[in-house]
Amino acid sequence: MARPLVLAVCLGNICRSPTAEAALTEAAGELGVDLEVRSAGTGDWHVGRPPDARMREAAAALNLLLSGRAEQVSVAALQAADLVLAMDRSNLADLQRLAQSSGVSTDICLFREFDPEADGELDVPDPYYGGSEGFTEVVIMVRRTSRRIVELIASGELPRDPGVVR
């Protein structure tokens, strides 16, 4: 079986999705799961830039290293992925429109669908316009959820049936 590719997507690819990329990669390593992880943004404002300095600082304080450069999501990226994880409902709607208009049937869902502590709130909050505590909160939330996602991939429960629109 080919190594599964998971694509995490937020708005600008400088806060939430690069954190998810790092946390999913970390969880895959800890759990011994062979997994490729990438991230992208629905917008193009930050293409080529590193993750936000505040996000890198919050992640580093919790021993999570963020790297890479922002990319904008493409049809090719959606087609290549086995599972696409949207950070919030707005990202999900944008991804579903792109997928539907392009005939892509990759499994696209909300990242926090798999958060054991979501309690009905399925959006990962965007910390960009807030204080430092928001960045720390996102790192903790994303790390916890990433571990669960990798456990589900290891068990064969993810990705789910392609073409299912949620």
Catalytic positions are 10, 16, 126
Whole-angstrom distance, CA of residue 14 vs CA of residue 66? 10
In 3D, which of 112, 134, 130 has the Cα closest to residue 122? 112
**What's the Cα-to-Cα distance from 137 to each of 39, 68, 132, 162, rounded to whole Å?**
19, 21, 9, 31
Taking the mean position of all CA atoms in its chain, how far away is CA 94?
A: 14
Work out whether strand 107-110 and strand 36-41 pair parallel, antiparallel, or are unpaired: unpaired
SS (H, E, C) 126-165: CCCCCCHHHHHHHHHHHHHHHHHHHHHHHHCCCCCCCCCC
In 3D, which of 103, 97, 106 has the Cα closest to residue 159? 106
Burial of residue 77, with CB atoms counted within 10 A of its CB: 0-12 exposed, 13-18 middle, 19 or more buried = buried
